[in-house]
Amino acid sequence: MINKSSTFRNLLLHLFFWAFLIALPILLGPNTNSTNPEEIRRSYFWIFYMTSFTVINIPFFYLNTEILLPKLLRAKGVIIYLLTLIAAILFMLWVHEEVFHWAYTQFVHPDGQGGGGGPRRGALMRMIFQLLFYAAIGTSYRLISDRMKEDEQVKEQENERLKSELSFLRSQISPHFMFNVLNSVVSLSRRKPEMVEHVVVKLSELMRYMIYETNDSIVPISKELVYLESYIDLQKIRFGDDIKINFAHELGPKSSHIEPMLLIPFVENAFKHGVGFIENPTIEIELKDSSSELYFRVANKKGTVMNETKDESSGIGLANVKRRLELLYPTNHQLKVNDSGSDFIITLTIQHA
């Protein structure tokens, strides 16, 4: 996938780099304000030649970075690449010698008198070193660029893998949750059949949220709060006065955001394991959201009789949400589980970015 902003930044960087090199001889060139005509001609000669030298080397730079390195070095090996690069350097030296000769005769000796105008030994050595410099810069640029692209691809693949895993984990929550809720409805239909209709209405509200709201990657905590309240109301209808439920919540003036259905597994777990064979069962839920963090606490009593039948889905919810927290908030969440034997307390803190 091509990142257009990254491509545009690279284009601007290349344009700035070449514009700077082309303008450098003009900015740092010899003084052209002299009254000596020959000195003026030589000054213009060197400005023209050094500027044209950079312009001519632009194709050489991209020949090395876009063709020789990716096509030859990786496919044919180092020897073929070096031989081809040497041939390209020799060709560029011939081109520069021709440009040098033309510029010398045009600026320094336009009357046709003087030396042959070929590059002197010092100028030739400068050409060789400058061509090697462009080759080294191009090679370094290409190797670093390729490494960055490979790292970006690895990171992109990792992000896609994490997204797929999160999508899979979220898809697990809904059927697991519905399985437990339907079990609750079945139980209620036996004990309080007159309440089934009201429970189905509440259940439809929960399903509406699960179907239409959870498609987003994040939702306001206020929406998650309404969902938790609907689920707790459903459980109150089911258990009536058999269980004491305390739900305290406090949201800040500006609601933060959270991944949908991230908190419900903790509440569901409390209702699933905090009733039955327990004297005076109590579930306490606390939710506080401030500008800096989200605080969530769920506590329930535990029974001393360990004859509760475990189904295959038992524990999926908690294991699921723990993994989701690791993926979504790897460094800015704390999950504490305190199992004292008589009480089971889960405390979750998420620091807002």
Number of domains in the chain: 2
Half-sphere exposure of 269 (CA within 13 A, CB side): 24
| pLDDT at residue 164 in the model | 62
| pLDDT at residue 122 in the model | 62
CA distance 186 to 189: 5
The 10 Å Cβ neighbour count of residue 88 is: 18
Whether residues 294 and 173 fall in one domain: yes
321 vs 47 pLDDT, higher one? 321
Give domain status of residue 213, yes or no. Answer: yes
Pair 273, 300: CB distance under 8 Å: yes
Whether residues 113 and 180 fall in one domain: no
Give domain status of residue 140, yes or no. Answer: no
Whether 266 has a pLDDT exceeding 80, the answer reads yes
Whether residues 334 and 259 fall in one domain: yes
Kindly report whether the global pTM for this prediction surpasses the value 0.95: no
Q: Which of 119, 146, 175 is the last residue of a domain?
A: 119
Give domain status of residue 150, yes or no. Answer: no
Name the band, by pLDDT with cuts 50, 70 and 90, for residue 336: very high
Q: Which of 60, 84, 119 is the last residue of a domain?
A: 119
Give domain status of residue 106, yes or no. Answer: yes
Whether residues 93 and 183 fall in one domain: no
Pair 130, 57: CB distance under 8 Å: yes
50 vs 294 pLDDT, higher one? 294
Percent of the chain with pLDDT over 70: 74
Q: Which of 119, 138, 158 is the last residue of a domain?
A: 119
Mean pLDDT of 85-98: 85
| Domain of 242, in residue numbers | 167-351
CA distance 262 to 324: 8
Whether residues 234 and 307 fall in one domain: yes
Whether residues 115 and 182 fall in one domain: no
Whether residues 197 and 264 fall in one domain: yes
Q: What is the mean pLDDT of the chain?
A: 78
Q: What is the CA radius of gyration of the chain?
A: 37
CATH number at residue 294: 3.30.565.10
Whether residues 220 and 345 fall in one domain: yes
What DSSP element (H or E) covers 47? helix 37-63
Pair 326, 276: CB distance under 8 Å: no
Tell me how far CA of residue 155 lies from CA of 3, 35, 237, 314, in angstroms: 14, 62, 48, 34
Whether residues 211 and 85 fall in one domain: no
Name the band, by pLDDT with cuts 50, 70 and 90, for residue 67: confident
Whether residues 107 and 48 fall in one domain: yes
Give domain status of residue 332, yes or no. Answer: yes
Give domain status of residue 107, yes or no. Answer: yes
Extract the tokens encoding 332. Answer: 């800015």
Whether 17 has a pLDDT exceeding 90, the answer reads no
| pLDDT at residue 146 in the model | 85
Give domain status of residue 162, yes or no. Answer: no
Whether residues 231 and 112 fall in one domain: no
pLDDT one-digit tens code per residue, 118-160: 555 666 777 788 888 888 888 888 888 888 888 877 777 666 6
Extract the tokens encoding 270. Answer: 């409390």
| pLDDT at residue 104 in the model | 66
Give domain status of residue 299, yes or no. Answer: yes
| pLDDT at residue 310 in the model | 47
| pLDDT at residue 248 in the model | 94
* Beta-sheet pairing, 293-301 with 343-351: antiparallel
